Amino acid sequence: MTAETPEPPPLPAALTEPWRVIGVGALLWLLATVAAFTVPALESWRPICLAGLATGVLGTSVFLWQRSAARRGARGAQTGLVDGPHTTENR
């Protein structure tokens, strides 16, 4: 008797399309940053919000770099990156 490991269900499309996740994350960090610089009581949030924005820019840059490498067919590139709602996965 062999025990097969169950396959997890596929992720919802909203989580596999990176631009939605990137957009929501960027919007939330931007709102927090605006609040940190406009509400005096939230002054201590400023460095954290700026670090969050910088991390988002860095992460988005890495994503774009990996997507570009996947499109070029680079051997070490990540596979399965989705460009948008009307495109298919990269090979």
Round to whole Å and give the CA distance between 46 and 34. 9
| 48: its two tokens | 């954290």
28 has pLDDT over 70: yes
Which position has the higher pLDDT, 46 or 76?
A: 46
Degrees, nearest 5: CA angle 10-59-44: 115
22, with CB counted inside 10 A (0-12, 13-18, 19+), is middle
Tell if the pTM clears 0.85, that is, is over it. no
Nearest to 81 by CA among 8, 2, 72: 72
Degrees, nearest 5: CA angle 46-48-52: 115
Going by pLDDT thresholds of 50, 70 and 90, the confidence category of residue 41 is very high
Which position has the higher pLDDT, 80 or 91?
A: 80
